[in-house]
Amino acid sequence: MHSAFPGGNRNNNGNFNNVGNNGNWWSSSENSTTNAYNRNLNYNNNNLNRNNKQNGFSVRCLRDLMENRSSGINAGGFLNVYAT
């Protein structure tokens, strides 16, 4: 379980929507070259969706406890960033 501010989303045209009402987080899983999965949460919803990668959703940073990851960038010993 985690707590987070419902940051809404940015459409591919640059407009922001649902800030303070919906939380949208990208998954690390792609559906296609143009779409990826995202989780949408609000007071009565918990959906897994597919959306165009041009949309803007929040990312959730997780602490990676695995050692010896070869393709990551270590930033201060607790955050690894991987190219996808």
Model confidence pLDDT, tens digit, residues 24-44: 888 888 889 999 988 888 888
- CA-nearest of 4, 69, 74 to 24 is 4
CA atoms within 13 A on the CB side of 56: 13
User: Average pLDDT for residues 70-76, to the nearest whole number?
Assistant: 49
pLDDT tens by residue, 47-57: 888 888 888 88
Inform me whether the pLDDT recorded for 79 exceeds 50: no
Alpha helices in 1-84 (DSSP H): none
C-alpha 51: how far from chain center = 11
Exposure string of 57-78, with b = 16+ CB inside 10 Å and e = fewer, is bbeeeeeeeeeeeeeeeeeeee
Q: What is the pLDDT of residue 65?
A: 64
Q: What is the pLDDT of residue 32?
A: 92
- 74 token code pair: 């270590």
Q: 78 or 19, which is more confident?
A: 19
